Amino acid sequence: MTLRNRLALAGGLLVLSVSALASPAGTYTFGQPASAASATRTVEVDMTDIAFTPKALQVKAGETVRFVLVNKGQLLHEFNLGDAAMHAAHQKEMLKMQQSAAMTPTGMSHDGMDHSAMGMAGMKHDDPNSVLVEPGKTAELTWTFSRADNLEFACNIPGHYQAGMVGTLKVDP
C-alpha cells in the first residue's frame, strides 16, 4: 500500500470516527424520531394532573405515529417513550434539573442562571424520545417504531411517574 493510499485510508477512518462521535448519544432499539409529514397515524394524548388519557396505546412495528400532546393540567408534564429502565434513569436526570432550578413546576427556567457553576453545564431537555409540555400548551412527538416491544409512555418529572402518570405502549409485529 502506498503512502498516499495509507493517508487516504487514515483520513477516511478519521471522518468515520468523528461522525460516530457526533451522533446522538442515545440510540433506541425500539425506533427513531421521524418527521410529522411521514406519520401514518395521529394520536392525541391529554395530560392532566396527574394522568394520561388514553392510558394505553397500541401501534405496529414499522408504523410512524405523530403524538399530539395536550397539557390540560396546571403543571409541567413530559411525554417520554421507553421501557421502565429508561424511565428510571431519566427520572434521575429530571431530578437533577429540578434541584438545579433548571426546571420549575410549570416550565423550564429561563432566568439566565449559570448551571455550569453547579456542575450542570449544558443541562437541557433534548432527548428525541421525549417532549416537555407546559400547562395549557400543545406539543408533538413523531416516532417510527422499529420492532415489536412492550414500552411505556411516561412523565418523568419528579413524583409524577410514581403518582401514576405512566401508560402502556404495545408495539405489535
Q: What are the cell numbers at 91?
A: 427520572
- The arithmetic mean of pLDDT across residues 106-132, rounded, is 64
Q: So what's the pLDDT on residue 10?
A: 36
Sorted by where each begins, the domain ranges of the chain are 31-111+126-171
Residue 40 main-chain phi, psi, to 5 deg: -100, -10
Q: What is the pLDDT of residue 26?
A: 61
The predicted pLDDT at position 77 comes to 97
Mean pLDDT of the chain: 82
Q: What is the grid cell recorded at 137?
A: 400548551
DSSP, residue by residue, the chain: --HHHHHHHHHHHHHHHHHHHHS-S---TTEEE--GGG-SEEEEEEEETTEEESSEEEEETT-EEEEEEEE-SSS-EEEEEE-HHHHHHHHHHHHHHHHTTSEETTEE--S---GGGGT-TT-----TTEEEE-TT-EEEEEEEE-S-EEEEEE--STTTTTTT-EEEEEEE-
Q: What are phi and psi of 21, to 5 degrees?
A: -70, -30
The pLDDT of 74-92, averaged and rounded, is 96
Q: How confident is the model at residue 109 (pLDDT cuts 50, 70, 90)?
A: confident
Q: What is the spatial distance between Cα 116 and Cα 172, in angstroms, rounded to a whole number?
A: 43
User: Which CATH number applies to 31-111+126-171: 2.60.40.10, 2.30.30.230, 2.60.40.420, 2.60.40.1120?
Assistant: 2.60.40.420
Which whole number is the average pLDDT over 68-87? Answer: 97
pLDDT at residue 16 greater than cutoff 50: no
Q: Residue 126 — pLDDT band, cuts 50, 70, 90?
A: confident
**What is the model's pTM?**
0.78
Q: What is the pLDDT of residues 145-166, one digit of tens each?
A: 999 999 999 999 999 999 999 9
**pLDDT bracket for residue 110 (50, 70, 90):** low
Label residue 21 by pLDDT band (50, 70, 90): very low
Cis, bond preceding 50 (omega within 30 deg of 0)? yes
Q: Identify the band that residue 111 occupies on the pLDDT scale cut at 50, 70 and 90.
A: low
Residue 57 has pLDDT above 90, yes or no: yes
